[in-house]
Amino acid sequence: MLHPSRFVPVVSFLALVACSSTPDGAPAGTAPVTAAPPPSCVEGETRCEGEGVATCTAGEDGSLAFGAPVACAAEAVCKEGACAAPTAAQKKQAAELAEVVGYLRANTAWHAPLDWDALVSRGKTTILRGDGSDRAYFGALFDAFVAVPQGHQGLYLERGCGKLVPYAGYAQRGACGRPHPRGIVVTHVKAGNVLGLAPGDLVVGLGASKERAVLDVLASRPMCVTSRPSASFRDASTATTFADLLEPSETIEVEAPDGSRRSVTVPAASVLGSAPTSFSCQDPLGRETTRAAYASLRPDGVAVIRLPSFVDPEVPFPTTNDASDFEAYKEAFEAKIQVAFDGVKSAKGIVWDVRGNGGGLTQVGLDIASGFASASASALSSCRARIPGSSPPAFGEVRYAAYALEPGGRFAYPGKVAVLVDGLDYSAADYFPLAVKSRTSAVLVGAPTAGGFGATSETKRFAGPPSFTVSVDQNRCELDDGTPLEGRSVEPHIFADYGPADLAAGTDTVLERAVRALFP
């Protein structure tokens, strides 16, 4: 190929002589007429700039431009180019939001500094600039709430989760997803879902937002949700609920596993509220979750034991606060898991699958990890309680929830072990991978866990409207060296995403990657 700088065209003398006029047809030597640029605004036009109103005026040379913004008086804010005074309802909402932030500030065990005043100020501005609706108010509450990363804190409407806003972890529109490097990959669907999506479809566009930016846009939309201790949990919980976070008449760009693309418009009639918790997205592949454990032996000799939860779904959790009832529950739960384990413990390798596990009894997971051949008995972590209202936050001296592995036990296994994890692994399902990675040589495969290690401490109701509850976590949990655990996702040894073509074919990419790690 010729280099442009070395390409010299051969032009005849006659051709040069013929060029006696400018490109626009004007006689040679005449400068072309340049059209005047259009005015940047219309005189008298107004627009919002920051906290004030800017007006279009003519300068000394007659050109039009927006002048410096003039701040709105008192509590008024700029809306649609003019200052608008807040309504009495909006003032009430702003005051209640400040109360919510104050409640979190006085009780949360979150260990890093937060600009609490900025949360209140931003929330107030959002409310005053909104339309005064219940949804707009909940959106402002949501924005302030998720800015506090301590896990085990919740924001839920008393009535309206799944109607006014989506319910995290569910999909009334019948399509569940997981984060993907190029957007959101559809992992599980309801037949005949209104979006026409299938496993393996990739959502790679939403309006002007492309690929991973789609997750960022949807993550900012309000829903009834547990707090977000990490980016991994934020992305996972958003991707599970992505279908319900879409607005009617919005269009998404979808890439099929074969690479073809299509646009899908959310039906205008597709509204939330009919069955807010009927289609769960907690398990990535939509598998059954009604038993304590599921065990199977693959043709290649590797066993898979799946734990949907660290709470027994077959038996009500004890509420008597009697230690003996709690121990009996734990013993019965572990006995069920042991039955599944005993059925496959002769396998050449075991993959424990805790993807989508929302937690429960931490000690159950530690007892399982204690059975891994490489388990170490050193101390793992402990917790201390926040002294409510202390400023700066102070914590009691008493340590509790002191965890460690005890090598051996009912789940003792001499073979190779892998554990599958993802961003929805919370609480006890955070501790299990933490112990596996730091106190054993088993292999973690999948995505980083949620990073939520405490427990819900108390819940307060707020009148609204709409009425809602806020839960707080007063537990500061730390590694044995004093490092705070909250917000620290347990990262896998091997990161593995779901392959669109694999999903379409019914193949579990993450599981297959774990098996290859154990037996290359």
Instruction: Give the other-Cβ count within 10 Å of 53's Cβ.
Output: 21
Let me know whether 494 and 432 are in one domain.
Answer: yes
How far apart (Å, rounded) are the C-alpha atoms in residues 115 and 125? 16
The residue out of 265, 285, 305 marking a domain boundary is 265
Counting residues of the chain whose pLDDT is more than 70, the rounded percentage is 93
272 CB-contact burial (10 Å; exposed 0-12 / middle 13-18 / buried 19+): buried
Let me know whether 433 and 341 are in one domain.
Answer: yes
384 within some domain? no
Q: Given its phi and psi angles, is residue 60 left (phi above 0), alpha (psi -120 to 50 degrees) or beta?
A: alpha
Check pLDDT > 50 for residue 17.
no
CATH code: domain of residue 199: 2.30.42.10
CA 10 to each of CA 3, 14, 15: distance values in angstroms, whole numbers, following the listed order: 16, 12, 10
pTM more than 0.85: yes
Contact 339, 385 (CB under 8 A): no
Say what the pLDDT of residue 30 is. 53
376 within some domain? no
What is the residue-wise DSSP string for 429-481?
HHHHHHHHHHHS-PEEEES------S---EEEEE--SSPEEEEE--EEEEETT
Longest CA pairwise span in the chain (Å): 107
Let me know whether 258 and 361 are in one domain.
Answer: no
240 within some domain? yes
Residue with tokens 């008298």, as numbered in its chain:
44
Mean pLDDT of 204-230: 97
Number of domains in the chain: 2
33 CB-contact burial (10 Å; exposed 0-12 / middle 13-18 / buried 19+): exposed
The residue type found at 280 is S
CATH code: domain of residue 313: 3.90.226.10
129 within some domain? no
pLDDT tens sequence across 320-376: 989 999 999 999 999 999 999 999 999 999 999 999 999 999 999 999 999 999 999
CB burial readout 177-207, b (16+ within 10 A) else e: bbbbebbbbbbbbbeebbbebbbbbbbbbbe
pLDDT tens sequence across 103-113: 999 999 999 99
Question: 23: pLDDT confidence band, cut at 50, 70 and 90?
Answer: very low
Cis peptide before 466 (omega within 30 of 0): yes
| Radius of gyration, alpha carbons of the chain | 29
Write out the residue range of the structural domain in which residue 414 sits.
Answer: 294-371+408-452+487-518
Tell me what the pLDDT averaged over the chain comes to.
92
502 within some domain? yes
The residue out of 244, 265, 286 marking a domain boundary is 265
Let me know whether 301 and 445 are in one domain.
Answer: yes
Say what the pLDDT of residue 37 is. 63
The strand pair at 183-189 and 202-206 is best described as antiparallel
Let me know whether 302 and 353 are in one domain.
Answer: yes
Let me know whether 309 and 425 are in one domain.
Answer: yes
Helix (H, G, I), strand (E, B) or coil at 139: helix
Let me know whether 195 and 255 are in one domain.
Answer: yes
Let me know whether 342 and 241 are in one domain.
Answer: no
pLDDT tens sequence across 115-145: 999 999 999 999 999 999 999 999 999 999 9
How far apart (Å, rounded) are the C-alpha atoms in residues 140 and 119? 10
CA 347 to each of CA 101, 255, 295, 325, 425: distance values in angstroms, whole numbers, following the listed order: 52, 39, 11, 34, 26
Let me know whether 426 and 359 are in one domain.
Answer: yes
Length of the chain: 520
Instruction: Give the other-Cβ count within 10 Å of 344's Cβ.
Output: 17
367 within some domain? yes
Q: Across-strand partners of 459? A: 471
Let me know whether 258 and 298 are in one domain.
Answer: no
The residue out of 265, 280, 305 marking a domain boundary is 265
Let me know whether 358 and 314 are in one domain.
Answer: yes
Let me know whether 260 and 303 are in one domain.
Answer: no
Residue 212 structure tokens: 């991973």
Mean pLDDT of 87-96: 96
How far apart (Å, rounded) are the C-alpha atoms in residues 381 and 484? 10
Residue 243 structure tokens: 């279908």
Mean pLDDT of 305-323: 95
Q: Across-strand partners of 475? A: 385
Count the helices and strands in the chain (H runs, E runs): 12, 25
365 within some domain? yes
Say what the pLDDT of residue 12 is. 34
Q: What angle do CA 279, 295, 287 make, to 5 degrees?
A: 10
133 within some domain? no
Contact 296, 344 (CB under 8 A): yes
